Amino acid sequence: MDTAVKWYNFKYAAPLFLLLLPAVASGQSASSEKRVEKHPQRWSKLIPTHSQLQYAGGMGLVSGGVGWDYGKNRWETDVFVGFLPRYSTEKAKMTATLKQSFIPWEVDAGLEFDIDKNISVSPLSCGLYASAILDKDFWASAPNKYPNRYYTFSPKVRFYIYVGQRVTYRIPCEKLRWLSAVALFYEVSSNDLYIASALGNRWLMPTDYLYLSLGMKFKFSDK
- What does the alpha-carbon distance between residue 196 and residue 83 come to, in Å, rounded to a whole number? 26
Q: Please, are residues 126 and 160 in contact by the beta-carbon 8 Å criterion? A: no
Q: b/e per residue, 191-205, with b = 16+ CB within 10 A?
A: bbebeeebeeeeeee
Question: Residue 190: how many CB atoms within 10 A of its CB?
Answer: 19
Confidence band for 10, pLDDT divided at 50, 70 and 90: very low
- The angle subtended at Cα 85 by Cα 79 and Cα 87, nearest 5°, is 145
List the one residue out of 26, 20, 67 whose CA is nearest residue 48.
67
In three-state secondary structure terms, 158 is strand
pLDDT at residue 61, as a whole number: 95
Regarding predicted confidence, which is higher, 87 or 51?
51
pLDDT at residue 46, as a whole number: 83
- What does the alpha-carbon distance between residue 77 and residue 155 come to, in Å, rounded to a whole number? 24
- What does the alpha-carbon distance between residue 23 and residue 25 come to, in Å, rounded to a whole number? 5
pLDDT at residue 43, as a whole number: 74
pTM: 0.77
Regarding predicted confidence, which is higher, 11 or 173?
173
- The angle subtended at Cα 175 by Cα 64 and Cα 77, nearest 5°, is 30
Asked whether residue 138 carries a pLDDT value surpassing 90, the answer given is no
Regarding predicted confidence, which is higher, 33 or 93?
93
List the one residue out of 124, 77, 72 whose CA is nearest residue 98.
77
Written in H, E and C, the secondary structure of 42-67 is HHHCCCCCEEEEEECCCCCCEEEEEE
Regarding predicted confidence, which is higher, 198 or 138?
198
pLDDT tens sequence across 164-195: 999 999 988 766 778 999 999 999 999 999 99
Q: b/e per residue, 61-91, with b = 16+ CB within 10 A?
A: eebbbbbebeeeeeebebebebebeeeeeee
Average the pLDDT over each of 11-25, 119-133, 142-156, 205-219 and give the range with the smallest value: 11-25
List the one residue out of 221, 103, 112 whose CA is nearest residue 171.
221
Query: What φ, ψ does residue 99 adopt, rounded to 5°?
Result: -130, 135
Amino acid at 219: K
pLDDT tens sequence across 115-131: 667 899 999 999 999 99
